[in-house]
Amino acid sequence: MSTITKNTKIYIAGHRGMVGTSIWRTLEAKGYTKLIGKTSKELDLRNQQAVYDFVKQEAPQVIIDAAARVGGILANKDYPYNFLMENMQIQNNLISAAHQLAVQKFIFLGSSCIYPKFAPQPLKEEYLLTDSLEPTNEWYAIAKISGVKLCEAIRKQFGKDFVSLMPTNLYGPHDNFDLETSHVLPAMLRKFHEAAQNGHTPVTLWGTGRPMREFLHVDDLAQAVLFALENQ
């Protein structure tokens, strides 16, 4: 039985991002009154001591990790070290502090890119680590896999309520439309919009068009996070 109430103190890491703002809106609309958020300037999640001190001081009962360094194919290609290192730092610092300071519940948000490039469709959890990853985002995927496994290890060894959710390609309010760092759907929307403004000029899309992609509105993901919050 879940002990989460509307007065539960919840820290949403990454509360200014597309996912974080949607989760914040959803929880607020459901009547949650003790939501905590910090900007990257106020709290550098890559700094282990700073994260530990913050969690100790604020003492949240729940942490929702919606913070990450994200980007599309080009960003992953150009900054592999940053995508691997910074995402591991962010999630490890949060998970470690939550474990050490007895946070009641931890919800880790990963990505469907953790699954093998040629995994059967539809994806199933047992396909994880059965084959090679998609090379264009393997750095981000490896970081997220380590986060999933860390939560799994804590749950297995200590019996704590640490869970992982794997959203697919997201879109919605507060999305990133920069053509160098955005994901596929906002990039296509911008290209189509600018082509229409420029007299319906031709639009060039990356790839062959054969891979299957699944898209999820960010507010639907927030509903899934709410369900995970209120159910064990």
**75 phi, psi to nearest 5 deg:** -65, -40
Query: How many whole angstroms separate alpha carbon 77 and alpha carbon 79?
Result: 6
Evaluate whether 152 touches 98 at the Cβ level (below 8 Å). Answer: no
Q: Which residues have CB under 8 Å from 11's CB, separation 6+? A: 35, 36, 37, 55, 58, 60, 62, 63, 64
CA 222 from centre of chain: 11
- Which among 11, 32, 115, 140 is annotated as catalytic? 140
Q: Which amino acid is at 205?
A: L
Q: Quick one: CA torsion of 89, 232, 165, 88, rounded to 10 degrees?
A: 10
Concerning whether 79 is annotated as a catalytic residue, the answer is: no
Helices (H), 79-117: 80-100
Total Cβ atoms within 10 A of residue 171: 16
Evaluate whether 105 touches 64 at the Cβ level (below 8 Å). Answer: no
Query: How many whole angstroms separate alpha carbon 91 and alpha carbon 106?
Result: 11
Just list the catalytic residues. Answer: 140
